[in-house]
Every structure is written in structure tokens, then in C-alpha cells.
Structure 1
């Protein structure tokens, strides 16, 4: 009996591991009722943007201020406009996905100076911010 258990134990462990991994792949990050903070950096003549600094320093700093309220964040780099030859309307767009809008406001107001003073390290663009409530998430399998 114990030999049979020892024989099947690695198989059961493998099946459990595969089951956990599959569940992780299928669980969505976005959920209705979450909030999305979108930070847009309009592209214009003379505008500069250091994507490396934004990715490695600025966004992680702000994410740290948001703490447990932050679900995840994303960064987009503009590469073109409507057609491949059109200049992108935005040099970059950052997104913070958060659970609670009041906690977000409190965290940003407490660290406002640090956030604003860091702009000069990566851009000369005045960002445009929009806060949205995620109303619907649809996944296409």
C-alpha cells in the first residue's frame, strides 16, 4: 500500500501544481468597480521624455506611495498615431489600477511635492490626469 502511495504522490503533486498555475492564468486582474488613474503625456514640438527613468524610478516611486491600494500599474510608450507615419499623440501614458479612490487621493496629497519635483528628471511635459471607474471588463477567449 505504501509503495502505491509513494508511486502516485509525485503525479498528484504535479496535477496540483498544474491546477494552481491554470487558476492563476485565468483569474483577471481588472474587475468592475476598480478605479484607473490615467496619466497622459501629450506629445508636442520640443517635448522630451525619458522612458527609462519613468519605468525604473518615477512609476515605482509613486507605486510605493500608493501601497496596498494599488492592484497594478502599466506604462505605454507612444510609437505612432492613426497611421504608422503619424507622430504619436502621447509620448507616454501611465496607468494605476486602484481599489479605493479616497486612499489614492490621500496618498498623492501626502507625497505631492515628491511626485511633482520628480517630473524634471524625465520630462518637460505637463501631464494630463484622468480618474475613471472601471464599469465593464470583457475578456475575449
Structure 2
């Protein structure tokens, strides 16, 4: 069954997020270290939480995997990607692992 990993970067007082670094350097690390196991990916930059409502997240990255084995392989290879977090944000990201249907 296909699996997903979502990485959410919530906005709160004092949080920072360097979108240019994230797009150019961090996602290149994702591709280098984890890309072989990822079927598809999309990153959503937070613009609003609804009409006239500020966004609740700087960004949400969604990765789709063929199965649990591919997700496990990606998580095992994620060390360099996780180590890069302080280079673009001071946010502790939230993660959601799920199944698609």
C-alpha cells in the first residue's frame, strides 16, 4: 500500500524559515540522500490559512512512497537531511506518516 511522509513547518512567534535555501539546497539534499526511494514529492509554501487568515505553516513537504519498505529506507537515509535543518529554520518540524487511499 502506498505510504506518505509529510513534514510540516509550523509558524509561531519568533520562527524563521529561509525559503530560498530550502528550495535550492535542502531539497537537493533530499533528492541526493532519499530520492531513490521517493515516488513523488510536492512542497507547499504557506500563503494563507483561509480568507483573511495568516498561514499556520511556513511550508509542508509531502513525499509518496510505493510501500512501507521504501519509506523505511528513506527514513534510514535521512541523517544528512535532518542535520541540515538549522541551516534554514529554527522550527522543530512536525511529521505525519500515513497511507494513501
Provide TM-score, normalisation by structure 1. Answer: 0.64
How many residues are treated as equivalent by the alignment? 101
**Higher RCO (C-alpha 8 Å, min separation 6):** 2
Q: 1:115 to 1:68 in 2, by over 3 A?
A: closer
Instruction: Return 5+ residue gaps in structure 2 as ranges.
Output: none
Gaps of 5+ in 1: 1-32, 136-141
For the pair shown, the structure with the greater C-alpha radius of gyration is 1
Taking the aligned partners of 1:128 and 1:103, their CA distance within structure 2 comes to 20
The alignment's C-alpha RMSD in Å is 1.6
Q: Distance in 2 between matches of 1:108 and 1:116?
A: 10
**Would you tell me which structure has more helix in proportion to its own residues?**
1
**Deviation of 1:105 (Å):** 2.1
1:73-97: CA deviation from partner (whole Å, max 9, x where unpaired): 11111011122x3210111000111
Distance 1:38 1:66 in 2: 14
Q: TM-score, normalised by structure 2?
A: 0.87
More strand by share: 2
Deviates more, 1:61-70 or 1:40-49: 61-70
